[in-house]
């Protein structure tokens, strides 16, 4: 069980309120991702749930029971830290055993759980090594192993992949997702990387300056961003925003169109511009287009190999059904 409810939770450091009153419900078994730019309060929120910080006001409930004043050890939550926070003086085995030792789990049960965790995480050969002798990816798996064996009500991940190189990050992303499928335990995952959020989450919570901007499934957020901030944050490359006459023609202050929702042509189209930079990835091509009279730069994505080069004239037509309209207050119309 791992239902977590935050009601009217706030956090201030001195005079600075980093989390204004906030309500959030996390259902049992959900994979929830807190995403937002650095300094948006997502890590603080996670630490409030973990009990590593005191809330300034408000209530936190875990499985319907009041947990606001509980120390971290009593909340039955496991956390994977950004730096992994492995105990450098203990072997991998002892690292994984530590939470069970603290909970007075019997020795043979400890051994059984260590073995199954090690097997699941490919750590069997490394159990007697010290963390210093492991690679980044292996350390990451030890940190996860240490979290699994507690059989917690929920897992908390604080930017766990940010210290890994790109290739490893993709692999670990899959492993964590598989782990969630297998355990079906609540997971709360903090990241600033919207790709991680989109690929892993059941539910994404977009935060800015301590505020929740939008909560929803990845595709909800992609299809119907509630405001300009979410629209710009979710999706890669970023959504193009166009103001002025073109937007007014659609009855909006700003219109947004994703790069992948613009058709390109060498001969005809609604908008015209000049290619400044073209990036050819093989499967896709990205064009950064200048001199459109719409915005400083319009980014366009086309499938496959299309041969526009620097300086070429390009014609673009947005797909009308994929236009996002926003009012002067930044909210979706």
Partner 1 sequence: MARAVKTQRKALNTAIAWGVGLLIFFPILWTILTSFKTEAEAIADPPVWFNFSWTLENYFTVQERSNYFRHFWNSVVISVGSTLIGLIIAVPAAWAMAFVPGKRTKDVLMWMLSTKMLPPVGVLVPLYLIFRDLGLLDTRIGLVFVLTMINLPIIIWMLYTYFREIPSEILEAARMDGAGLREEVLHVLMPMAVPGMASTVLLNIILAWNEAFWTLNLTAAKAAPLTAFIASYSSPEGLFYAKLSAASTMAIAPILIMGWFSQKQLVRGLTFGAVK
Partner 2 sequence: MSTKASRAAARLMISPSVILLLGWMLIPLGLTLYFSFLRYNLLMPGDNPFVGLENYSYFLTDPGFTAAIWNTLALVLGVLVITIGGGIVLALLLDQPMWGQGIVRILVIAPFFVMPTVSALVWKNMFLNPVNGLFAHLFKALGLQPYDFLAQAPLLSIIGIVSWQWLPFATLILLTALQSLDSEQLEAAEMDGAKPLSRFWHIMLPHLARAITVVVLIQTIFLLSVFAEILVTTNGGPGYASTNLTYLIYVQSLLQYDVGMGSAGGVVAIILANIVAIFLMRMIGKNLEA
Instruction: Return residues touching partner 2 (CB under 8 A).
Output: 13, 47, 52-54
Q: Which is nearer to partner 2, 5 or 56 (CB)?
A: 56
Tell the smallest beta-carbon distance from residue 206 to partner 2 (Å): 24
Q: What residues contact residue 289 under an 8 Å CB cut-off, 6+ apart? A: 273, 274, 275, 276, 297, 298, 299, 300, 314, 316
Binder of residue 83, out of partner 2, partner 1, none (CB less than 5 to 8 A by kind)? partner 1
Q: Which is nearer to partner 1, 50 or 221 (CB)?
A: 50
Tell the smallest beta-carbon distance from residue 99 to partner 1 (Å): 4
Tell the smallest beta-carbon distance from residue 50 to partner 2 (Å): 12
Q: How far apart are the first and last CA of the chain?
A: 39
What are phi and psi for residue 78, nearest 5 degrees? -115, 145
Q: Which is nearer to partner 2, 55 or 78 (CB)?
A: 55
Q: Which is nearer to partner 1, 179 or 255 (CB)?
A: 179
Q: Which chain residues interact with partner 1 by CB under 8 A?
A: 50-52, 71-73, 77-79, 81-83, 85-90, 98-99, 102-103, 146, 150, 156
What DSSP element (H or E) covers 221? helix 218-223
Tell the smallest beta-carbon distance from residue 98 to partner 2 (Å): 21
Tell the smallest beta-carbon distance from residue 35 to partner 2 (Å): 22
Binder of residue 54, out of partner 1, partner 2, none (CB less than 5 to 8 A by kind)? partner 2
Tell the smallest beta-carbon distance from residue 233 to partner 2 (Å): 26
Looking at the DSSP assignment, which residues form a beta bridge with residue 10? 57
**What tokens appear for 167 in the block?**
């290739």
Cα–Cα distance between 29 and 31 in angstroms, integer? 7
Residue 73 neighbours by CB distance under 10 Å: 11
Q: Quickly list DSSP for 63-96.
A: TTEE-TT--GGGTTEEEE-TT----TTS-HHHHH
Q: Which is nearer to partner 1, 142 or 298 (CB)?
A: 142
Distances (CA, A) of 109 to 95, 141, 145, 269: 16, 21, 15, 68
Q: Which is nearer to partner 2, 57 or 116 (CB)?
A: 57
């Amino acid at each position: 069980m791992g239902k977590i409810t935050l009601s009217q939770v706030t956090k201030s450091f001195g005079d600075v309120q980093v989390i204004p009153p906030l309500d959030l419900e996390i259902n049992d078994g959900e994979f929830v991702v807190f995403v937002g730019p650095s300094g948006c309060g997502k890590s603080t929120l996670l630490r409030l749930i973990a009990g590593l910080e005191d809330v300034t006001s408000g209530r936190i409930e875990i499985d319907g029971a009041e947990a606001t004043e509980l120390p971290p050890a009593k909340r039955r939550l496991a956390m994977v830290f950004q730096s992994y926070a492995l105990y450098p003086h203990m072997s991998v085995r002892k690292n994984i055993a530590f939470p069970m030792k603290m909970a007075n789990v019997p020795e043979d049960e400890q051994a059984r759980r260590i073995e199954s965790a090690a097997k699941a995480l490919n750590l069997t050969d490394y159990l007697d090594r010290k963390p210093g002798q492991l690679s980044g990816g292996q350390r990451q798996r030890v940190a996860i192993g240490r979290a699994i064996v507690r059989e917690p009500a929920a897992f908390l991940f604080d930017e766990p992949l940010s210290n890994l190189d790109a290739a490893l990050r993709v692999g670990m992303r899959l492993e964590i997702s598989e782990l969630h499928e297998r355990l079906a335990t609540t997971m709360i995952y903090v990241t600033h990387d919207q790709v991680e959020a989109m690929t892993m989450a059941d539910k994404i919570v977009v935060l800015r300056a301590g505020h929740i901007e939008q909560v929803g499934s990845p595709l909800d957020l992609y299809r119907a961003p509630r405001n300009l901030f979410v629209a710009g944050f979710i999706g890669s490359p970023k959504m193009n925003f166009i103001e002025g006459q073109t937007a007014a023609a659609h009855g909006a202050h700003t219109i947004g169109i994703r790069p992948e929702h613009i058709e390109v042509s060498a001969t005809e189209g609604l908008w015209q511009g000049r290619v400044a930079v073209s990036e050819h990835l093989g499967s896709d091509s990205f064009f950064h287009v200048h001199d459109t009279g719409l915005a400083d730069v319009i980014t366009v994505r086309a499938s496959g190999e299309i041969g526009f080069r620097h300086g070429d004239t390009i014609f673009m037509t947005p797909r009308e059904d994929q236009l996002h309209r926003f009012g002067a207050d930044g909210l979706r119309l």
